[in-house]
Amino acid sequence: MDRPLMWGQRLRSAGSAVLELPFAYAGLLILLFTSYLVRPALLSPLLLLLIVRQAAPLGIAVIGQSLCMRVLSLDLSIGGVIVGVSYILTSGLLPLSEPVLLLICLVFGASVGLINAFFITRLRASSVIVTLAMTMIISGVAISFSQLRSPGDAPALLRQIGQLRIGVFPVALLVWLSLLVPAAIFLRVSVFGRYVDAIGANPQAAWVSGIPYVRVVTIVHVLSSLFAVFSGFLLIGFVGVGSMDLGRDLALNSLAAVILGGVTFGSGKGGVLGPTVAALMLTFSFNLLTSLGLGEPAKLMLQGAIIGLAAAAYSARRQS
């Protein structure tokens, strides 16, 4: 029983486990440290909670996006869905009560997901192209409608969700958690989660061995669009009005967060926690950049750099 050797081995395996963690964890720590150095004001608990609240829409969208990536698909129609939801809820085009409108938004989201899934599973089209095309269609239609009948105020219920707190915790955060935790548990224990793993590992084999490929991928896309609807609800609640500019960069941000969080095409190694931490990290970084005076261009450059470098780093890691 060589004690030092055993401890050495344990440390080594713990060390490599830490190194195996998705970049999001390290990234968040680096950011917090940098903020401590240059903008310590950002680290006040009140502000941090606000940032967490701000991250909620991204965090919710990330759940759906990570699911999509695990079945070798992408959902870039998140932005379109949010624009559509924004218009439905605030334009008054449909003079119905708030709860009914919210329900209609969910149905709308589910339909978008179904259409996406149809093209991707039945026609075997590229998910990027299909979802981008859907965004073009929905945004195009919604914005052209908005020229005739402009969007208005957000429904009262959403504004409350967006701004209220329970104790110190923003309600938005609770909404996020109430979607995140059940999703994570469900994926881990259910048959559905296993099927998702299988399809990601080898979609052809999954198809041939009788796994209900079409059903699983359809559910994934419908869920992703539904999560996008919830993101939209929160965003509209934050802003207070139905803006046609909402959620524009949510699709790309969710992609960046998912990749940073360790989930790549076909593999779900990061689980749901990695992308969630990455969502927090990205939101924090945007705030840091803004507080340093750098605006939209810097955000875009950061997003692009993160996606590219993280994807490259993960590929390099997988090859070694």
Partner 1 sequence: MVSFERLTKRFGMNVALSDVSLDCVAGSVHAITGENGAGKSTLMNLLAGVHRPDEGQIRLRGEVAWLDSPHHAQRSGISTIFQELTLLPNLTVAENLFLGREPLRHGIVDRSTMRAKAEVALARLGGRIGVDDYCEELSVADQQLVEIAKGISADADVFIFDEPTAALNAPEVEKLGELISSLKSEGKLIFYVSHRLDEIFKFCDRVSVLKDGLHVATRAARDLTHDELISLMVGRVLTQFYPVRKPPQQSSRAALDVSSLIPMEGGPPVSFAVRRGEILGLSGLEGQGQRDIIRALAGLQPAVQGQVTKSSVAEGSTQPLDLTVVATALAGVGFVPEDRKTEGLYLSLSISENIVLGMLRRSSVWQRAKVRTDLIAGLMERMRIRATSAKQLVGMLSGGNQQKVMIGRWLASGVDVLLLEEPTRGVDIGAKAEIYALLRDFADQGGAVLLISSELQEVLGLCDRILVVRRGAIVAELDGAAASEEEVMRFALTGPPSSDRSPNGNVHA
Partner 2 sequence: MLNRLRKTGRSGMKATTLALPLALFLVVGFLSTSFLSFQNLANINSQIAGLLIVSLGQMIVAISGGIDLSVGSVMSLTSAMLVTLDPQLAIPAVLAAGVAVGLINGFGVTLFNVHPLVMSLATMTFLQGLALLIHPVPGGLVPEYLRTLAVSQVGGIPCAFFWCVTALAVTAAMLNLTRFGLRIFAIGANPMSAARNGVSVTLHRIACYVLCSISAVLAGIFLTARVAGGDATIGASYTLDSVTAIALGGVQLAGGAGSVAGVVAGVLTLGFMTNGMNLVGISPFLRTAATGCLLLLAIGLQRRKVIGA
Instruction: Residue 54: name the closest of 300, 304, 283 by CA.
Output: 283
Residue numbers of the site for partner 1 (CB under 8 A)?
189-195, 197-198, 201-202, 204-212, 215-216, 219, 266-267
DSSP 120-175: IIIS---HHHHHHHHHHHHHHHHHHHHHHS---BPPHHHHHHHH-EETTEEHHHHH
Q: How far is the CB of 195 from partner 1 (least distance, A)?
A: 7
* Window 20 to 49, contacts with partner 2 (CB under 8 A): none
Contact call for residue 303 and partner 2 (CB under 8 A): yes
**Residue environment code for 255-288, b if the CB has 16+ CB neighbours within 10 A, otherwise e:** bbbbbbbbbbebbbebbbebbbbbbbbbbbbbbb
Choosing from 5, 41, 123, 191, the residue that interacts with partner 2 (CB under 8 A) is 123
Cβ atoms of 284 and 232 within 8 Å: the answer is no
136 lines the binding site for partner 2 (CB under 8 A): yes
From the list partner 1, partner 2, none, pick the one residue 16 interacts with, judged by a Cβ distance below 5 to 8 Å according to partner type: none
Enumerate residues 176-205 that contact partner 2 by CB under 8 A.
203-204
Long-range CB contacts for residues 175-180, cutoff 8 Å, separation at least 24: 175/56, 175/60, 175/230, 175/234, 176/56, 176/59, 176/60, 176/234, 179/60, 179/63, 179/227, 179/230, 180/59, 180/60, 180/63, 180/272, 180/276
Is 224 a binding residue for partner 2 by CB under 8 A? The answer is no
Of 250, 258, 220, nearest in space to 234 by CA: 250
Residue the block writes with tokens 């590219």? 308
Nearest-angstrom CA–CA distance, 62 and 22: 15
Q: Which is nearer to partner 2, 175 or 310 (CB)?
A: 310
1 touches partner 2 (CB under 8 A): no
- Show the CA angle centred on residue 132, arms to residues 94 and 307, nearest 5°: 125
Q: Which of partner 1, partner 2, none has residue 11 at its interface (CB below 5 to 8 Å by kind)?
A: none
State yes or no: residue 312 binds partner 2 (CB under 8 A). Answer: yes
Report the residue number, 88 or 158, with the smaller CB distance to partner 2.
88
254 belongs to the binding site for partner 2 (CB under 8 A): no
CB of 265 to partner 1, least distance (A): 12
- Return the one option of partner 2, partner 1, none that residue 215 interacts with (CB less than 5 to 8 A, by type): partner 1
Task: Specify the stretch interacting with partner 2 by CB under 8 A; choose among 84-92, 101-109, 224-232, 304-312.
Answer: 304-312
Regarding 304 and contact with partner 2 (CB under 8 A), the answer is yes
Of 16, 144, 168, 293, the one binding partner 2 (CB under 8 A) is 144
With CB under 8 A as the contact rule, the residue among 11, 94, 185, 300 that binds partner 2 is 300
> Binding partner 2 by CB under 8 A: which of 49, 137, 198, 201?
137
Please list, in sequence order, all residues whose beta carbon lies within 8 angstroms of the beta carbon of residue 92, skipping any fewer than 6 positions away: 149, 152
Task: Write out the residues near partner 2 by the rule CB under 8 A.
Answer: 72-74, 119, 121, 123-130, 132-141, 143-144, 147, 203-204, 207, 213, 252, 255, 259, 265, 296-308, 311-312, 315-316, 319
